[in-house]
Chains A and B, each alone.
Chain A
């Protein structure tokens, strides 16, 4: 991610997309958690992976 992640704007948008009600008194904490997850994701996304590295789960038909 090159631009800083705007957790507040993302939360506001995604609450509508996902049909979630976030009461005003919950909002600060929800955004804090989202920012923490974004920071964790940035750590993962910044690690280069070969295109052939696949997710591990096996689905047995």
Chain B
């Protein structure tokens, strides 16, 4: 059955289309049918681009008939709705941006996906302006967790997590400033790649916090992340923050295994602040990798605090005019954080930026002795929707800003991470582990993630209740 292909990963879909076993149009129609059946219930897509999807599919089929083998031939995907899609208003999870004209061109990464033969089904739900870890949105409704729809999908790329783990699409393009790829990867049970800061072009994606914004993919296999990463890389003069580095051939290296890699578990801060499932998932991954070493990330709590300060101040500065003129049109949970961010003294922010340089140097010393660092992605399984407070290390705190306590110190200095989904024995929900590599070594994190996937330690199945949808 064509619909069964939607349960398969990106690389298998592309192989089936390249080999003429299925047409891109057949895959696309199946993905559209699945999306139309489940989207209203789960809140994944906010903007469907079905005419575009069908046109892209027909173009891929024509190219394949003429002998082309696009690497993502016929692969259905969506984008977090902060990516520009030509002809669609880039809402970035907000009500306010809906007054903007439609985007005139695709974001750079959307263009790269199209050039590789992928099929865009539309824009995906997200926390307003990406200032979110829950996947909840007052304007568009919450994106729900397909493994348990009473729980959060995780944010801010919540609709992306929902769409990929429900099998509507095989992959999604997302952003991650403080954890917005890795949190939904953990809550929904997906593989997520947050590349090195400056690696992928951000041109045509609505910003959140320029110092910390990254873009990357969510998918259901580590090999898929490598395939997508190979497609998405490349210089783009339109992104002034992109760092020119040699490209990585991620797929070519993914099967090199883990022997010889020095792998350690992050202790201290990363062990103290989570629920038991967070540490248990790390232990399971460490055991599978034969990793017995622990290392302490120096000043992790300060790193997280500094990222917190920079984020609120930069994001508030970005939205200052909107806060002055249209404060009542924001999601209240986001508005009040941004209003407070607009009041932050400059010296706090500059000190946090200076600390960032210190922390980068300290982590370079850690990685002189280690190739891969393991840490939890979230402190717990997906929270029930609407959760307002959590208790961590004996301290009650607001849930929304603190879901990302383990992701935030790492993205603070732009290190590449693959979040891998782990299912503990008897658990009904997944939880993620961060596989963290030195800067510019996404290949190492992807190799480890692929090894864990092949060993059966990490897995990202389509949500069971939706398998037969």
Is the CB–CB distance between B339 and A49 below 8 Å? no
Is the CB–CB distance between B352 and A44 below 8 Å? yes
**Neighbouring A residues of B211 by C-beta, 8 Å:** 57
Bound Cα distance A45, B82 (Å)? 33
User: Which B residues, 320 to 370, have Cβ-Cβ distances below 8 Å to chain A?
Assistant: 320, 323-324, 327-328, 332, 335-337, 339-345, 348, 350-358, 360
Q: In this complex, what residue of B is CB-closest to A12? A: B343
Given the interface pairs A53-B357, A55-B354, the reply to whether A40 lies near B308 with Cβ below 8 Å is: yes
**Neighbouring A residues of B398 by C-beta, 8 Å:** 36
Q: In this complex, what residue of B is CB-closest to A46? A: B302
B binding-site residues for A, Cβ under 8 Å? 211, 240, 299, 301-302, 304-306, 308-309, 312, 320, 323-324, 327-328, 332, 335-337, 339-345, 348, 350-358, 360, 398, 401
Bound Cα distance A37, B400 (Å)? 14
Min distance, Cβ A20 to any Cβ of chain B, angstroms: 6
Min distance, Cβ B246 to any Cβ of chain A, angstroms: 19
Bound Cα distance A55, B403 (Å)? 27
Bound Cα distance A18, B351 (Å)? 21
Bound Cα distance A32, B401 (Å)? 12
Is the CB–CB distance between A44 and B306 below 8 Å? yes
Is the CB–CB distance between A44 and B336 below 8 Å? no
Is the CB–CB distance between B343 and A56 below 8 Å? no
Q: How many residues of A contact B (CB 8 A)?
A: 32
Q: In this complex, what residue of B is CB-closest to A29? A: B336
Is the CB–CB distance between A55 and B340 below 8 Å? no
Is the CB–CB distance between B341 and A37 below 8 Å? yes
Given the interface pairs A30-B339, A56-B357, the reply to whether A20 lies near B308 with Cβ below 8 Å is: no
Min distance, Cβ A22 to any Cβ of chain B, angstroms: 6
Is the CB–CB distance between B309 and A49 below 8 Å? no
Q: 18 more A-B contacts (CB under 8 A) besides A34-B344, A36-B308? A: A11-B343, A18-B324, A18-B342, A21-B324, A22-B339, A23-B327, A30-B336, A33-B339, A33-B340, A33-B341, A37-B348, A44-B355, A45-B348, A45-B351, A53-B358, A54-B357, A56-B357, A56-B360
Count, A-B residue pairs, CB within 8 A: 105
Q: Which secondary structure dominates where chain A touches chain B?
A: helix
Is the CB–CB distance between B339 and A37 below 8 Å? no
User: Which A residues, 10 to 24, have Cβ-Cβ distances below 8 Å to chain B?
Assistant: 10-11, 14-15, 18-23
Is the CB–CB distance between A33 and B353 below 8 Å? no
Q: Report which of B309, B341, B354, B401 forms a contact with A53, defined as CB distance below 8 A.
A: B354
Is the CB–CB distance between A18 and B320 below 8 Å? yes
Is the CB–CB distance between B339 and A44 below 8 Å? no
Given the interface pairs A11-B340, A30-B340, A56-B353, the reply to whether A19 lies near B306 with Cβ below 8 Å is: no
Is the CB–CB distance between A44 and B327 below 8 Å? no
**Neighbouring B residues of A3 by C-beta, 8 Å:** none
Min distance, Cβ B324 to any Cβ of chain A, angstroms: 6
**Neighbouring A residues of B299 by C-beta, 8 Å:** 47
Min distance, Cβ A21 to any Cβ of chain B, angstroms: 6
**Neighbouring A residues of B341 by C-beta, 8 Å:** 33, 37
Is the CB–CB distance between B332 and A26 below 8 Å? yes
Is the CB–CB distance between A37 and B309 below 8 Å? yes
